[in-house]
Structure 1
Amino acid sequence: MGVIEVSFIFEGSVRSDLDDIKAFIKKVLSRIEKIIQDQDIMFDIKLILNELIINSVVHGNRCNCNKSVNLFLEIAGNTIRIEVADEGEGIDFDISSYDPTELKCCGRGLIIVDGLSDELYIDNNRIVAVKYMG
């Protein structure tokens, strides 16, 4: 088995302030755009980042500006791995239990991320989304 080359790693954190998050996500996306030319994949990554980071701020950190959201993003071969962690108490969410006919807001972001990702892992206050390119 060959070695998979890592072509990009981003690791950073942002405080739980919606204005700071907008600039943070824009910075991350501007770096990724230099590597990924496919606009459909870029759209998916932008949506995944927005949903996970904003969920972490609102639901995990309860908009407490003294708490941060951490992001680790890696592009290796044809795989994009996005890991987001907050300082909240964590979630216990079963995606299969979500019923869209109930019109609840809670859980919708994770359903969107699950639909855009090839793999999704929820572990307490950390979520990992994996997307394959091509």
Structure 2
Amino acid sequence: MDYRLEKKVHSDLSGVKYIVEDILLNIRDVINENVFFNTKIILYELIINGVMHGNNEDFKKLVNIKVCINKNCITIEVSDEGDGIAYTHKNKGEFDFSESGRGLMLVEGLSDKFSIDGNRVTCIQYIK
């Protein structure tokens, strides 16, 4: 059950819904419902972050999306053309009321493994 998808999309918030729906349509029958729901949230949050925060909604800049599925896990990697971020892990119960950062905190919580390397976020969900 190996599956691999790579997309490069322009930084357009109005198109994020269609990008995510297209990806989900391709993987709907490949993963179970719980993993599917988490994948949907992760994709929305990471693509929106790349468009808004990474590329500052500059349509000329691209967001790169990679989704790889095998029998053990689904790996999602999203990168943008921004400078990258310094993300600090928050422990359970630490609530941050700032304007941004909650999306990444949510993605980290939904992922079994989560890493940020500059302008690239990688999430792994184990298929249970």
TM-score in terms of structure 1 length: 0.89
Flag structure 1 segments of 5+ consecutive residues without an equivalent.
Answer: 1-5
- Find the counterpart in structure 1 of residue 101 from structure 2: 107
- Find the counterpart in structure 1 of residue 68 from structure 2: 74
Shift of 1:97: 7.4
Shift of 1:19: 1.8
Partner Cα separation in structure 2 for residue 70 and residue 27 of structure 1: 15
Identical positions, percent: 39
Partner Cα separation in structure 2 for residue 33 and residue 97 of structure 1: 32
Aligned mate of 2:25, from 17, 27, 30? 30
Specify the structure having the higher radius of gyration (Cα): 1
Structure 2 counterpart of 1:133, which letter? I
Q: Which runs of 4+ in 1 moved over 6 A?
A: none
TM-score in terms of structure 2 length: 0.93
- In the alignment of these two chains, the number of paired residues is 127
Asked if structure 2 preserves the Cα contact closer than 8 Å seen for 1:81 and 1:131, the reply is yes
- Find the counterpart in structure 1 of residue 52 from structure 2: 58
Matched, 1:95 2:72: no
- Find the counterpart in structure 2 of residue 16 from structure 1: 11
Asked if structure 1 preserves the Cα contact closer than 8 Å seen for 2:113 and 2:124, the reply is yes
Shift of 1:83: 0.3
